[in-house]
A and B are shown apart, each in its own frame.
Chain A
Amino acid sequence: MSYHIVVCGSIVPDPLQVLEPIVGPTGPALKNEMMLPAVLDPWAGHALFEAANLAKNVPNSKVWLVALGPKAKLQQVMMSVAQKALFTLVAADGPASGFVDAFDTAAALTTAIEGIADLDRDKMLLFGGWQSASRGTGATIQMVGERLGIVNQFQGVDKLTVNADGSMDILERIEGGSYLTSRLSSAPAAMGWATGELPEPPNNPQVGMMNMKSIMPALQQAKPAQLTGAGFKVENVAQPKVMRQTRIEKDMSTDAIAQEIVAWIKG
């Protein structure tokens, strides 16, 4: 038993930056988005670290990271991400912004996955974030799964345990802080991860150097993704009415923070 884990994930602007929506020549965008530093989408990050951990514990397993994003920015982010987990990058050049149709994105990701030569679909676990920090539609992984004919799908996954008989127990978040446990007999399956249970691994340059052997060619060869945008239009983009104000508090207790949030919600 081994797994071929395909993680779909891309980049988002560093959340500490000022994210100001504007309407540009090609539709809505974030001000200076191309120039802002980017990070791996945190939801995808959880999926990637879970995938790497699973591959480490189940011999002969393999991880691919399939990313649709602007090449140059993807490359910058890889300098950090590649040090955290062993994977093979499959890159498609295109926008990763929050203003692209999830339907288009799913189609592009599917094409990229179908192009992976040594992927064994019977062993495949499709991983990704159940949300994205740039656009929380929660739809992309679902659609990629559908397109690949993967019908066993789980969303809001926090834990995956492989049992001795090869079956898997999957913990999915449901409403009210509860979990739904499912047992799945075998791959393939699609899982949109919530936070998972693993911390972000420290950077390991040895891992990074190994990954780079495949990452640099993958980035160089990344083909422009065909995103039609047909039938999809963002009508309006605005910042939430209450302006974001970041404040740094050094010595504030958790209780005091909670109280302040409650007071703020109550207005």
Chain B
Amino acid sequence: MYTLQTLPGDDVRQIMWRFAERFDLQMVVQSSRSIARTTVASLVAQGARNSHEWTDLKQELLDAFDASGLTALYMNTSQGGFMDGPKNLALSLAAFELSWVDGGAATSSLASNLALAPSHEKGTPEQRDYYMSRAVPPQPGEDRTIWRGAFALTEPLPYVGVDTGVLVGKVKVKDWKDGEEPMLQVEKRGRFITNMDFAYFVTAAVDSTDERIKGSCMITLEEGDEGSFDRGAPTMKMCHQLSSTRDPIINVTVPASRIIGGYTVVDGQIVPNFTHGEIIGSVFHRTRIPVGLMTTAKLLSAVEPVIRYHRTRFRGGDASNPGSPKFEQGIQQKEDAQQRLIDIWAIGEAGASMGFTAAREADTFDPIEREKESFLAEQGCTSARKQFAMIRKKDAETMEYIDLLFDTGRDETRFAALDADVLVKFSYLDKLLGVIIPTTKLWNTGVGAIFLREAISLVGGYGITEDCPGFLMNKWADSQLEATYEGPEAVQRMHLTITQADPVFLHLLGKYADDMAASDAPGSDGLAAGIRMWLTAMTYLSENTDADGNKLYHRKRQGVTFPMADAVGWLLASYYLFKDVAELQEKGGMNPTVAEGLEGLSGFYADLAQVMAARAVGEVGRILSELVYGFNSGADVSAFAALRAEADAKLAGVRLAKDRAGQALTQVMIPEALDYPM
């Protein structure tokens, strides 16, 4: 039996989430944390959340972000930022730290970046530099106002929501003099637009109502533009009150050069280089990772306050005497209280492992995606369809690449060759991220919200009050928005319907199963069986029909595809937790601080990973059985049934792991008090 000596500290996190060598990121963590636990926490404690308006008090948040470099985090050094290169992991860590105290504060830190993201991803270099450099706080000696932005896609009912095709935002030519830049009239009404109280610019999705402009686009509108820039009514939201949300009504004249990504004139028609759909696809691809991690941070943040509440529940007065178990351990004497907290902790860890993996891989992906763009452009392959076909042709090599990634005795020459093939590398990361980004958004927020409720339950009546340590009730309410904005769960499930069925991803998932089967980590063999069960169900659902002869796995059949998406999230989260625990066990000894407590950490995390795997496989088994048996397909289910039985049998020992982990909670040393005000 091990002893978990303290709660995991920064050194442990840096190893597990693989940024032990990145001091720039470690500094980002410290900066965000210090704001979270001072400015943000005191705003919440002072009741700043009790208003829909953007108050002076809330404004302190933006000032703190500006002063400590968080506002400039998204920018490169040439644009006034302090670090170069991809920023997915940096933004994820910052959002994680902020939402450890308050999710709305994290949203506020990200919203301007979301407004800049269309220019960042698809804008012309001039557009990118123009807005990015104005969005950084003024440097000493500079006299200018910082430009904050808002991203306006969603529209009043009955227009844009989950369905982004029903655009009512309009663009038409107002004036187009020969040889001059066309002037456009843009009308956009937004709904639920974040940052709208103070945004100087808005990146708006609009559709053409003019035959001289082709299709839709995203376009940047500024407060100073000719026309009207009405910020609209505040949203009466019941969560994330430390972010600003309004329903703006904008009607302005702007030059066509504001079309994000530029345009060409073909036969007298303005043809935007990117549709609004192409831009939002590429923006959301990345920005959804930090959102998923926000809910996760809150789960992990609940551990310490819940332990403290349980342990000290009967101290003081004459309820118990010092030295007695009731006094010393309080509610922690009770098994259920320990073990439910273990579930919460495991779900939090697994979400963090999946989300930070997604963020890291997205950092690797960013330059490769650009390299792929220029490579294909050189080949004259620019249309999305042609590009898709070209990458499809690389499927076999991508699968070979994946095999080699997992092969310890691999042919290094072959591996190096495939690794250097930009299309292979692109294809691998694209297929991986195509799944783990939406699962981070879907699983972390959806399942996270359920377990945040469990955390509140563990604090009893106090949990439901404003005084609850750790603001748990706020955190729970906030998680509902994290599950909703930037594409609610339905959007992620729709996305996964396509990506989780991709042959390259299925091949990769098969490799994950083999990897788990070969691992000696307790519970990993159960996860291997769970993954194989999912793959078997996928084949079954793809190849068979229901009792009426209708296809099962089909884009339009959400009753099949959506639960499959829910299931894959559980499996992946569990897998990445095993990988992070293995990393900790392998590298922890090299760090003297971690080495000191490694035996306890290692034992505890192994148990946590096993508990998580069992839960994941259980959830997945339940979902898959309904799908496989539920449509009376009549096809042979024996392969699935055998795997389900195998997965169940491999739960052996999991409850002992939970017993141990629960016991560890009764011994772990926690700080005297929470390090943020209440």
Chain A residues within CB distance 8 Å of chain B: 14, 16-18, 31-32, 34-37, 70-73, 76, 79-80, 82-83, 202-206, 208-209, 212, 216, 244, 246, 248, 250
Contacts and interface: CB of A to CB of B under 8 A. Distances in A.
Given A18-B669, A76-B10, A205-B82, A34 B592 contact: yes
Contact of B6 (A35, A73, A202): A35
Given A72-B592, A83-B27, A206 B69 contact: yes
Contacts of B24: 205, 209, 212
A16 B27 contact: no
B675 A80 contact: no
B672 A244 contact: yes
A16 B11 contact: no
B597 A35 contact: yes
A146 to B, nearest CB: 33
B596 A205 contact: no
Contact of B28 (A18, A82, A205): A205
A246 B672 contact: yes
A209 B83 CA distance: 8
A36 B672 contact: no
A250 B678 contact: yes
Contacts of A70: 592-593
Contact of B30 (A36, A73, A80, A216): A80
A182 B67 CA distance: 36
Nearest to B596: A34
A73 B595 CA distance: 12
A79 B671 contact: no
Contact of B26 (A79, A246, A250): A79
Contacts of A71: 592
A72 B14 CA distance: 13
A36 B673 CA distance: 14
A82 B6 contact: no
A250 B677 CA distance: 8
A71 B72 CA distance: 30
A80 B64 CA distance: 16
Interface residues of B, number: 40
Contacts of B594: 35
A250 B29 CA distance: 27
B550 interface: no
Given A16-B673, A72-B591, 16 more contacts: A14-B671, A16-B675, A17-B669, A35-B597, A70-B592, A70-B593, A72-B592, A79-B29, A82-B27, A202-B67, A204-B68, A246-B673, A248-B674, A250-B45, A250-B467, A250-B678
Contacts of B69: 83, 203-206
A206 B75 CA distance: 12
B27 A248 contact: no
Nearest to A77: B30
Contacts of B672: 16-18, 244, 246
Contacts of B11: 72, 76
Contacts of B64: 202
A246 to B, nearest CB: 4
Q: Which 6 A-B pairs have the closest CB atoms?
A: A205-B69, A80-B30, A203-B31, A246-B672, A79-B26, A34-B596
A72 B27 CA distance: 15
Contacts of B83: 205, 209
Interface string B1-44: 00001100111000000000001101111110010000000000
B30 A83 contact: yes
A36 B68 contact: no
Contacts of B9: 35-37, 76
22 contacts: A16-B673, A18-B670, A32-B669, A35-B594, A35-B596, A70-B592, A72-B591, A76-B9, A76-B26, A80-B27, A83-B30, A83-B68, A202-B64, A203-B31, A203-B69, A205-B72, A208-B27, A209-B82, A209-B83, A246-B673, A248-B678, A250-B467
A204 B73 CA distance: 11
A202 B27 CA distance: 12
Contacts of A73: 593
A205 B23 CA distance: 11
A36 B27 CA distance: 19
Interface in B619-678: 669-675, 677-678
Contact of B31 (A72, A76, A83): A83
Interface in B560-598: 591-594, 596-597
Interface string B314-339: 00000000000000000000000000
B618 to A, nearest CB: 33
A246 B312 CA distance: 11
A205 B519 CA distance: 41
A248 B669 CA distance: 19
A79 B30 contact: yes
B26 A32 contact: no
A183 B273 CA distance: 71
Contacts of A80: 27, 30-31, 34
Nearest to B595: A34
A18 B671 contact: yes
Contacts of B34: 80, 202-203
Contacts of A35: 5-6, 9, 593-594, 596-597
A71 B596 CA distance: 14
Nearest to A79: B26
Contacts of B67: 202, 204
Contact of A17 (B591, B597, B671): B671
A36 B11 CA distance: 10
A76 B467 CA distance: 32
Nearest to A219: B23
B10 A37 contact: yes
A80 B23 CA distance: 10
A76 B26 CA distance: 8
Contacts of B469: 248
Contacts of B28: 205
A37 B678 CA distance: 21
Nearest to A83: B27
Contacts of A202: 34, 64, 67-68
Contacts of B27: 79-80, 82-83, 203, 205, 208-209, 212
A178 to B, nearest CB: 33
A203 B23 contact: no
Interface string B387-406: 00000000000000000000
Contacts of B6: 32, 35-36
A107 B536 CA distance: 69
A248 B64 CA distance: 25
**Max chain A CB contacts within 10 Å: which of B30, B64, B467, B670?**
B30
A216 B23 contact: yes
| Most chain B C-beta atoms within 10 Å of own C-beta, residue among A70, A72, A216 | A72
A250 B169 CA distance: 48
Nearest to B590: A72
A16 B9 CA distance: 14
A206 B82 contact: yes
Contact of A32 (B5, B72, B82): B5
Interface string B449-488: 0000000000000000001010000000000000000000
Interface in B68-87: 68-69, 72-73, 82-83
A127 B10 CA distance: 29
Contacts of A208: 27, 82
B604 to A, nearest CB: 13
Contacts of A250: 45, 467, 677-678
Interface in B42-72: 45, 64, 67-69, 72
